[in-house]
Structure 1
């Protein structure tokens, strides 16, 4: 007998609903959000339950890996699509959401989400930690800049992170009025900056040891951060049938609203991984503005910026970068400076 098993997952509990092929409810339960408890509840109902479906969320990786190890096929569904389907229900409860997800599984009207590997998530954790520490470091620098103005001191507009402490600490100690309030902030900021340097060194070392990252870094403007972010975001390049779909996956293609006689293209969709999209944008900006060596990609971006503006040109270059990086990864080739076209 065919069963459709749905989980409505929250942080501490999971609502389970199992229906048959006709849509009749066969089993309902609510357990804690632990793999062992979920697997035990499903096996108590019937050993014939072999697949489990739920919408993508914060516990997706934990539940996917755990339930797969327990012998279940895991179906992870696109959250926005599930949310749109469940919004038609009058009353929103965990039980009703589980029932709705089960009906979605039965109908087959869902998009399956790719669950990335553990290696990809570990890389993302390192990159996220580095980014978070740097952000806190910058926040403390801005706070110190604001407080030190009470003494009439105006710091340079552009000041490197490494030179900040050496410049500001002697000034504060010389005035002496705000030593008790600013020196602890400087100490905290210095500790954060040293932590950032350690994380940054780990990221650089990881990129140097990775063959894929080294290949991606042959593209002008693409450094260790962009290469690692793109590699972690894609994870498995073969899951994209065409390289052009990579740019759309990361939200770098325009939206479209078409209905009847209306057909209005919009701004880029900004769908998918924001960190990958941001890294590609920074790389494209560096390629167009800072790269000394001329390539067909830079020439195209410069020509485009003269007619469409710098921002649109950089987005277009970022979109093409996503395509090129994926194709280089698939074909195992380095960037060709003299190439006039890219096989998509």
Structure 2
């Protein structure tokens, strides 16, 4: 049974669902109670849904936007945590105190300051302000971890997010973000067009028959693009720690290109894989070769 179009009659408590396939044949006709709506449509493959334009229709259309709300909130909190830690580093540096690099080391230092385990010679006002920064940074970190757990639950409950999470470098955050933000992958003709929509393709500056490629355009969704670049950067760090695990094509790319250029190129490839999995309903396969290349 492949449903291509659904007509949904909205109501207060009981909703009527009428679904047809590509030939117009009726394949589902049933009544749903309000509590059954989300679970029913979550299990369906992407299709066209028509509903009347009324006040309650906005609520059901926004159900997918709730996942994006998680990501936007997390992005803001991560930025605030970074600002707080940078403030701590800058202020303590003026008093000759150096915080080791790395998020976990900075948070460990903040806990030690709050617990009185780190003896720092500061004026009384400085001690009070430092304690405020440390408590705020730790509280923000706890909130981020709570959102991460919610995103992991969302990944397990969403079929598309589970498939996207099989791609190396994506993870629960990237998988749920793409599943929520890209509701119709068919609007892109190819993975290349999808990568261009994310701003991961170089700008053209060609003339006189000579092709010149500039920096990436950075158009489209900045958050999704950043997730791909961060994922690619994490993969490069893992490859540096374990060179024997580095794929030959990645090793060749890192050998001839600067690290930042290589990570953006890897992010571009990851974007194409994301589109392919979303458009074709597949999962990631290591060593997969496209049909044309084969």
Q: How does 1:186-265 map to 2 (within 5 A)?
A: 186-258=134-206, 263-265=211-213
What CA distance in whole angstroms lies between the structure 2 residues aligned with 1:270 and 1:207? 27
- 1:120-165 per-residue CA deviation (whole Å, 9 max, x = no partner) reads 4322221111111121122112212222335432222235065243
Structure 1 position 201, deviation (Å)? 1.7
Cα separation, partners in 2 of 1:194 and 1:287, compared to 1, 3 Å: closer
Could you tell me how far 1:260 is from its partner in structure 2? 5.8
Per the normalisation by structure 1, the TM-score is 0.59
CA RMSD of aligned residues (A): 3.0
Secondary structure of 1:220's aligned partner: coil
> 1:335, CA displacement in angstroms?
1.2
- Select between 269-278 and 176-185 the one with higher mean Cα deviation: 176-185
Determine which of 244, 261, 284 is the counterpart of 1:335: 284
Query: What residue number does 1:43 align with?
Result: none
Judged with a 3 Å threshold, the aligned counterparts in structure 2 of structure 1 residues 311 and 262 are, in CA distance, closer, same or farther, namely: same
| Bigger Rg over Cα | 1
Alignment coverage as a number of residue pairs: 231
Compute the displacement of 1:327 (Å): 1.0
1:158 aligns with 2:102: yes
Partners of 1:328 and 1:293 lie apart in 2 by 28
- CA gap of 1:306–1:174, structure 2 versus 1, over 3 A, is closer
Q: Retained in 2: the 8 A contact 1:233–1:273? A: no
CA–CA distance in structure 2, aligned partners of residues 125 and 228 of structure 1: 11
- Residue 303 of structure 1 and its aligned partner are, at CA, apart by 0.9
Gaps of 5+ in 2: 1-51, 56-60
Matches within 5 A, 1:40-51: none
| Correspondent of 2:257 among 308, 318, 327 | 308
* 1:69 partnered with 2:14: no
Mind listing any 5+ residue stretches in structure 1 that lack a counterpart?
A: 1-67, 72-116
Q: Distance in 2 between matches of 1:342 and 1:162?
A: 49
| Residue 128 of structure 1 pairs with residue 72 of structure 2 | yes
